[in-house]
C-alpha cells in the first residue's frame, strides 16, 4: 500500500511537469509579482522566491511596479495521498481581459505552470528552490520565444570580441581612471576563454540591451581574463569564473561579489537597487 501511494504521488508530479500554457505571452510587459504560501514552513521562503521573480523580470525587461491589474503569482501548498505528503507549486499569470464583443473585463488566468514533489523536511529548501527555478525558467523560455526577445533586445556577441562588441574596458588601470573621472563604480567581469558559464553570462545577461544600459549608468565595466593575472591581488580571491566584482573607484574596495552564473539573480537585483542613484 505504501509503495502504491508513492507511485501515485510520483504520477501526480509527472503530470504536473508536462503542464503547458495554452496562451501566449506576447505583449506582457508588466505585472506585480506575489508569493502565496500555505504553512509556516513554506512562508519563510516567500521573500527569497519574490527576489528571484524580481530578478527574472529585470532579465526580461518587465516592469514590476504598480501593476495591480496583472499579477504573476507563485501559489505553494501541501497536499496528501494517504499518509504521504506532497508540495504543489503553481506559477500563474492572472490579468483582467475583455471578452470578445464586450467592454466588460474579467479576471482570467493566462498562464499556468505546475510542479509537485514529495515533502521531505530535510530536503524542503533545496527541492523548493529547484522547483521554483524550473518554473521560472519555463516561463522565461516561453516569454522570450513569444516575444522574440533574443533577436530584438540583445546584441549578438562572441567571447573573442565581447569587450569590443559591448564597449567594455579590458585594462583595469584604464577602467579605474575612467570610473574616477565619471564618478562611477567599477564592474569587473572576470572570465576565461574556456568557461561555458561565462559564455552564458555574456549571451543571456550582459549582452541584453536594457541590462547593459543599467550597468553603464552607474558603472564602468571591464572584462579581465583570470588566467593572465593582470589585476590587483584583491581580485584574485576567487578562482571561480565567471565572477562579477563591484568596486569603489576611489578606494578600490570590493563592495559586492557575484560568483558563478548561478549568482545572476543576485546581480540583477543589485542592479535594480541602483536605480536612481
Q: Is the dihedral of CA 76, 263, 209, 273 positive or negative?
A: positive
Do 13 and 117 touch, CB atoms closer than 8 A? Answer: yes
Q: 190: closest CA among 157, 254, 238?
A: 238
Phi, psi of 93, rounded to the nearest 5 degrees: -105, 115
pTM: 0.77
CA trace torsion 164, 167, 173, 179 (10° rounding): 180
In this predicted structure, what is the pLDDT of residue 98? 79
Phi, psi of 187, rounded to the nearest 5 degrees: -110, 115
Query: For the chain, how are helix, strand and coil distributed in percent, rounded to 5?
Result: 45, 30, 25
Cβ partners under 8 Å of residue 195, min gap 6:
241, 242
H or E element, residue 258: strand 254-259
Cell numbers given for 14: 509527472
Quote the CA–CA distance of 170 and 153 in Å, as a whole number: 24
Give first-to-last CA distance, the chain, whole Å.
61
Quote the CA–CA distance of 86 and 84 in Å, as a whole number: 7
Cell numbers given for 29: 510587459
| Angle, CA 265 vertex, CA 79 and CA 92 arms, to 5° | 35
Quote the CA–CA distance of 35 and 48 in Å, as a whole number: 10
Q: 254: closest CA among 179, 175, 186?
A: 186
Going residue by residue through the chain (277 aa), what tens digit of pLDDT does each one get?
444 444 444 444 444 444 445 567 888 999 999 999 999 999 999 999 999 999 999 999 999 988 778 999 999 999 998 889 999 999 999 998 877 777 788 888 889 999 999 999 999 999 999 999 999 999 998 898 888 765 556 777 888 999 999 999 999 999 999 999 999 999 999 999 999 899 989 988 999 999 999 999 999 999 999 999 989 999 988 889 999 999 999 999 999 999 999 899 899 999 999 986 6
Domains in the chain, start-ordered, CATH in brackets? 2-151 (no CATH), 159-273 (3.40.30.10)
Amino acid at each position: 500500500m505504501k509503495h502504491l501511494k508513492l507511485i501515485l504521488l510520483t504520477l501526480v508530479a509527472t503530470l504536473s511537469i508536462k503542464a503547458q500554457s495554452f496562451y501566449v505571452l506576447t505583449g506582457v510587459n508588466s505585472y506585480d509579482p506575489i508569493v502565496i504560501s500555505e504553512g509556516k514552513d513554506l512562508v519563510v521562503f516567500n521573500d527569497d522566491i519574490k527576489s528571484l521573480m524580481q530578478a527574472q523580470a529585470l532579465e526580461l525587461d518587465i516592469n514590476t511596479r504598480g501593476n495591480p491589474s496583472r499579477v504573476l503569482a507563485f501559489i505553494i501548498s501541501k497536499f496528501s495521498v494517504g499518509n504521504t505528503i506532497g508540495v504543489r507549486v503553481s506559477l500563474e499569470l492572472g490579468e483582467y481581459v475583455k471578452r470578445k464583443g464586450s467592454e466588460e473585463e474579467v479576471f482570467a488566468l493566462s498562464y499556468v505552470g505546475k510542479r509537485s514533489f514529495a515533502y521531505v523536511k530535510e530536503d524542503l529548501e533545496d527541492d523548493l528552490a529547484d522547483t521554483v527555478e524550473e518554473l521560472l525558467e519555463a516561463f522565461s523560455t516561453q516569454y522570450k520565444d513569444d516575444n522574440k526577445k533574443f533577436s530584438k533586445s540583445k546584441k549578438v556577441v562572441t567571447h573573442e570580441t565581447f569587450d569590443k562588441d559591448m564597449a567594455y574596458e579590458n585594462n583595469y588601470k584604464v577602467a579605474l581612471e575612467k570610473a574616477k573621472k565619471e564618478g562611477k563604480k567599477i564592474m569587473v567581469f572576470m572570465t576565461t576563454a574556456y568557461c561555458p558559464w561565462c559564455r552564458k553570462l555574456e549571451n543571456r545577461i550582459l549582452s541584453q540591451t536594457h541590462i547593459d544600459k543599467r550597468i553603464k549608468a552607474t558603472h564602468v565595466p571591464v572584462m579581465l581574463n583570470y588566467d593572465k593575472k593582470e589585476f590587483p591581488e584583491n581580485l584574485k580571491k576567487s578562482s571561480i569564473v565567471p565572477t562579477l566584482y563591484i568596486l569603489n573607484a576611489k578606494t578600490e574596495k570590493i563592495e559586492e561579489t557575484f560568483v558563478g552564473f548561478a549568482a545572476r539573480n543576485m546581480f540583477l537585483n543589485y542592479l535594480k537597487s541602483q536605480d536612481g542613484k
